[in-house]
Structure formats: structure tokens, C-alpha cells
Amino acid sequence: MKPLILGVLASGRGSNFEAIAKNCAEGKIDARIAILLSDNPNAKALERAKVYGIEARYVDPGPYKTKLSPEAEEEYVRILKEHGVELVCLAGFMRILKSHFLRSFPYRIMNIHPALLPAFPGLHAQKQAFDYGVKVSGCTVHFVDEGIDTGPIIIQRAVPVLEDDTAETLAARILAEEHKIYSEAIQLFAEGRLKIEGRKVRVLPK
């Protein structure tokens, strides 16, 4: 099978990017990362890409804090298309994508969120869940739509909150599960097994 071509967008640490890169390299998913793009010139993700021999670029996001400028969106899309990207994976990318980007990759953009959506969308989701006092949290991979963490859900994994947890220890256990389910979702996509029906994503049998 021809590997699925991925483009990853990351703003910071890049541990989800690295987990995907590692699983691609080890043949655990039928995919290849063609390009990593970052809106942050100091993102650790850019350094991690070097280790895996993956092309990585900082692309100026423009003057806004929470979105890309229209010109920047065009540039991101242009580079992704130039690299033949079939699926865009947001991995800690801290900007909301607008319609030009979304229309360029319809239902071909995934995101990972460190809570069981629709609970605790937005920033610091692990701390939000911890402070609220939930007994179970977790993580979600979903397709991206115009909302914040609102798109159709592909995979969720529950992580129990332990009596002696802090927001940090809970976040670390959630992160370990993020690293697994993101690759699982990408593999389902690569196998053509994700069927979107309105808000629902059906996982077709093999």
C-alpha cells in the first residue's frame, strides 16, 4: 500500500509529532510525514524533526495571536499541497484555522485534545478537568471544523484520575495515551475506514 502522506503542524514541544514520526519510521502506521510546519521559530518540534530526517520549517503566522493571517494560511496550504499532503495533523498547534485552510483540506485535518470532548475544550484542558474534580478524563482525536475542539470525534481514550494525582501527573498519563490514539486514528484514515456521517465518525470494519 502506498503510504499516506502527512503534514504536521506544531507550535511547541512536539511529543505527539515525534510519536507519529516514530510509528511511521517503525512501520506501525502506513504513513509518511512529508513536512512539519511551525508558527514558532523556537518550537522543540523543529529540532525533533531533524532527528527523524523530516523536512521542517517555521512559517511566519502573521500579526495575530490566535489565528494565521489570510496570507499565512495561503502559504501554509501552498507548502502542504506542494508536498502532496493528504492528511494534516495538528499536534499542539496553537492557532485556529479559518475557512481557506479548512476548505483546502475538507475532513482531512485532525487534531488531538487532552480531554474527553465535549468536556473541557480550549487551553489547559487537563488542569480544567483536574480542578473540576472529574474522576475520569482522557484524550480525543477529532476532525477539525470551524469551532474550537468541536469537530467529529474519531477516537477517545479514558484515563482515570487517581487520588494522589496533581494536574501534572494526570497530564503525563493522558499524554502517554495521546501518543497511542493519534497514530491509531491516522492508521484508520490510511486504511480508508473512517466514514463521516454528520457529527458521527463511523469506523468501518477491516
Query: 13 in helix, strand or coil?
Result: coil
Query: What are the beta bridge partners of residue 195?
Result: 202
Q: Which amino acid is at 85?
A: V
Q: What is the Cα–Cα distance from 140 to 117, expressed in whole angstroms?
A: 6
- Please tell me whether residue 15 binds ligand GRF under the rule CB under 6 A: yes
Ligand-binding site membership of 40 (annotated): no
Annotated active-site residue 113? The verdict is yes
Number of residues forming the site for ligand GRF (CB under 6 A): 14
* Window 56-95: contact mask with ligand GRF (x via CB under 6 A): -----------------------------------xx---
Figure out which of the listed residues 46, 68, 112, 129 binds ligand GRF, where binding follows CB under 6 A.
112
Ligand-binding site membership of 5 (annotated): no
Query: 34 in helix, strand or coil?
Result: strand
Extended strands (E) in 26-164: 31-38, 56-58, 87-90, 109-113, 136-143, 153-160
Figure out which of the listed residues 7, 16, 36, 76 binds ligand GRF, where binding follows CB under 6 A.
16
Q: Which residues bind ligand GRF (CB under 6 A)?
A: 10, 12-17, 91-92, 112-114, 175, 178
